[in-house]
Amino acid sequence: MLLTTAHSCKPKQTTKRVRGADEVVQKQEIVLEYNTYMKGVDQMDQYLAFCSFNSKTLKWWKRAATHLLHLARVQAHIIYRKNNVGNRNTMSVMEFTLCLI
């Protein structure tokens, strides 16, 4: 359930792919916007999980600080990739991390 005052309650038409064919469905505007921005959150979580380490032994404040450092590292790599769009020799996340260290 999503609750908002920023969007109208009128549904918008969008396409949905079912078994290779496009089907027109109606969705609320807030659902469409939510799905748009959640894609970026899912990608960020995927990046963070790619180069993470087992932090169960750390205290909560150390885990929080390490998470913020990893988040900053991933965001820096995303900015690096956007600035080097045409370059074929862009570094991977791991290579970028090694250059930071």
User: What tens digit of pLDDT does each residue of 35-78 get?
Assistant: 777 776 777 777 777 666 666 667 888 888 888 888 888 889 88
Shared domain for 24 and 61, answered yes or no, is no
CA max distance for the chain? 51
**Helix ranges restricted to H, the chain:** 29-50, 60-83, 93-100
Residue 69 lies in a domain: yes
- Domain extent, residue 20, equals 11-50
Please give the model's pTM, rounded to 2 decimal places. 0.54
- pLDDT tens for residues 26-42? 888 888 888 777 776 77
Shared domain for 22 and 34, answered yes or no, is yes
Beta-carbon contacts of residue 58 (< 8 Å; ≥ 6 apart) = 66
Shared domain for 45 and 78, answered yes or no, is no
Give the three-class secondary structure for 22. strand
Shared domain for 100 and 60, answered yes or no, is yes
**Into how many domains does the chain fold?**
2
